[in-house]
Structure 1
């Protein structure tokens, strides 16, 4: 039985009948305790789902706790909250269905003021005249890691319903959507894409989280969108190593980013690479024959730009590039 099915099925039962703390599900085949990147640095997390975790998760209701904030060039600094189903608020907002819509999904223990949101909102609005929808699922993301991991699926269901509503209410076109997620948010972006039938034209996964996702049936993959791009900056610790998109970029071999002194910095450096790729471009990778070549930098194939606002539909493979230690990070 898949872990998420067990988890969701037990929420009501465990919340209604308190029991002593028992292990319900063991995620992945690796160690029970692994490190994950938190806001203050590495945190040792428990990947075994317990009854106390299910009770904690019962306090998260995406219908009540997920919030959606619109930013445009007319309101760069102050968001316009647009609740799901409120057509009047949508009509009176700066949302324009003729523009591209960018959906941002943050990671574990992040919130609206985290680097992921602050830098990517500013960068995308500088690059293009777009609607940016910032997904605030911080209530679900702020719980213990194994709980937040399972909340990813619950939040993704709400986000996909929100996008469907936005399309119907505004007369928009799904072909003009770009969804970007970081860490746990990268997997959530993939689940959203899967629930939308793989019709999204462009999904970007920034260093998708590794703990709990190695064998997870809903981990991000190439079939979640018409074009899925993955950026690996902490492969093997906080982020996954194996390719998961149509195109996977391994800047600096996917780990040990120049200018970073720890893995926490590595895991978040992809945010700054993505932001710079939107405004400046310049990140040019070379195609690699295999994963070992991508990790080792032994790549001399065709070139392809990393990131950016436009899907590179039709391309595939693994790519390696070198970055600078500080901004500007791109060498191109």
Structure 2
């Protein structure tokens, strides 16, 4: 073994002599061996700490990677959840939408109410179907016909029905006509369907006259929009007599020529024909016995907001008719909607009309002074404005 490979530890003995080094079998003095072991241990510990730190870093990096992966996975999972939820809703709703989509196969449905807040009863317009109807020769019957794109489920119909059944002490029944299934965006077909609906309603009324002794003098048909036009056709198609009253709430008018007079509402369709005109929809209709023009009958207060497009103003004004109708029944005992008989809206608005002839818009009487009447209303309920 070379001198450079011999590492010795020299120390002095107690006698002052230099002690000879103790050599182990592996050529190292025991203390040298211990130092070497400690050195190696320190080195190994340092290396181990470096390795541990490296592992921690790798772990943190991999952890963040895993975390971000989990987050991405969560996003994906959320997306799948949303997709599944939407799919379930579509699976449930589509059959319902298809069920309520007009098919033209089911025709017209009829329901009746005979007390305020009471249950809605469905019946058929056959001889057997009307047997159980609570109608006698003393019954005051009102039929309600909804407008285009509507059905019997419209809230205003229930409100109007309850209001009508709360008036007076007479025996009253309200029949609601539902022709939703005959709706179509094909105008010519819809025009044909409207005539068909009118024929079916007229057949029902004739059946009630024959089998339930219904008195036509106490029969009132209320129609909104297209329902107003249909109510006129109903009156002209009856075979057992003439209706007591028709009230048309902003009735529509055929927009394509030629116009068959039998498709329009006029004074020949009932003993009393009352027309409420709130928008351009009813502008071209022939006059009834009594015509009411709230605020001129073109645009209603609250609908004439300057930034509303004309179509929005007209739609708002059109549907105002049913709100006025409901209020007229609910507050009918208070002589609401007082109106002046004038030649024009201009003469009424300019106070040049003497207003010697007055009337009140209501839906319960069967007689009234004839002519055009003008009135003003509020933009919000209560709509009625008393005379000064």
1:283 to 323, 333, 337: 337
Q: Distance between the aligned counterparts of 1:183 and 1:245, measured in 2?
A: 15
Question: In 2 relative to 1, CA 123–212 (structure 1 residues): closer, same or farther, beyond 3 Å?
Answer: same
Q: For each residue in 1:57-85, what CA deviation from the matched residue of structure 2 results, as whole angstroms up to 9, or x when unmatched? A: x9636xx4111101111x73421112011
TM-score (norm 2): 0.63
Q: Distance between the aligned counterparts of 1:143 and 1:118, measured in 2?
A: 26
Larger Rg: 2
Question: In 2 relative to 1, CA 276–174 (structure 1 residues): closer, same or farther, beyond 3 Å?
Answer: same
SS in 2 for 1:113: coil
Q: Distance between the aligned counterparts of 2:208 and 2:300, measured in 1?
A: 38
Q: Distance between the aligned counterparts of 1:298 and 1:241, measured in 2?
A: 25
Identify the residue that residue 90 of structure 1 maps to in structure 2: 130
Could you tell which deviates more after superposition, 111-120 or 161-170? 111-120
Q: Distance between the aligned counterparts of 1:297 and 1:143, measured in 2?
A: 44
Q: CA deviation at 1:298?
A: 5.5
Number of residue pairs aligned between Structure 1 and Structure 2 = 268
1:264 aligns with 2:315: yes
1:14-53 paired onto structure 2 within 5 Å = none
TM-score (norm 1): 0.73
Q: Distance between the aligned counterparts of 2:351 and 2:238, measured in 1?
A: 36
Q: Distance between the aligned counterparts of 1:223 and 1:297, measured in 2?
A: 33
Q: Distance between the aligned counterparts of 1:298 and 1:219, measured in 2?
A: 33
Identify the residue that residue 121 of structure 1 maps to in structure 2: 161
Question: In 2 relative to 1, CA 120–146 (structure 1 residues): closer, same or farther, beyond 3 Å?
Answer: farther
Q: Distance between the aligned counterparts of 2:367 and 2:212, measured in 1?
A: 27
The 8 Å contact of residues 286 and 303 in structure 1, kept in 2 or not, is answered as: yes
Q: CA deviation at 1:171?
A: 1.5
Q: CA deviation at 1:152?
A: 1.0
Q: CA deviation at 1:194?
A: 1.1
Q: Distance between the aligned counterparts of 2:325 and 2:163, measured in 1?
A: 9
Q: Distance between the aligned counterparts of 1:296 and 1:106, measured in 2?
A: 36
With a CA cutoff of 8 Å and minimum separation of 6, indicate the structure with the bigger relative contact order.
Answer: 1
Question: In 2 relative to 1, CA 291–224 (structure 1 residues): closer, same or farther, beyond 3 Å?
Answer: farther
Question: In 2 relative to 1, CA 221–116 (structure 1 residues): closer, same or farther, beyond 3 Å?
Answer: farther
Q: CA deviation at 1:227?
A: 0.7
1:1-332 paired onto structure 2 within 5 Å = 60=104, 64-73=106-115, 76-87=117-128, 89-128=129-168, 129-196=171-238, 199-210=242-253, 212=255, 215-217=259-261, 218-234=263-279, 236=280, 238-241=281-284, 243-260=286-303, 261=305, 262-281=313-332, 282-290=336-344, 293=347, 299-301=353-355, 302-313=357-368, 315-332=369-386
Could you tell which deviates more after superposition, 75-84 or 163-172? 75-84
Higher share in strand: 1
Higher share in helix: 2
Gaps of 5+ in 1: 1-57
Gaps of 5+ in 2: 1-101, 306-312
Q: For each residue in 1:182-228, what CA deviation from the matched residue of structure 2 results, as whole angstroms up to 9, or x when unmatched? A: 11110100011111267111100110113527844221111111110
Question: In 2 relative to 1, CA 297–322 (structure 1 residues): closer, same or farther, beyond 3 Å?
Answer: farther
Q: For each residue in 1:90-133, what CA deviation from the matched residue of structure 2 results, as whole angstroms up to 9, or x when unmatched? A: 33344444220001111101001114422221221122451000
Question: In 2 relative to 1, CA 134–306 (structure 1 residues): closer, same or farther, beyond 3 Å?
Answer: same
SS in 1 for 2:315: helix
The 8 Å contact of residues 232 and 241 in structure 1, kept in 2 or not, is answered as: no
Q: CA deviation at 1:292?
A: 5.9
Q: For each residue in 1:33-54, what CA deviation from the matched residue of structure 2 results, as whole angstroms up to 9, or x when unmatched? A: xxxxxxxxxxxxxxxxxxxxxx
Give the CA RMSD over aligned residues.
2.5
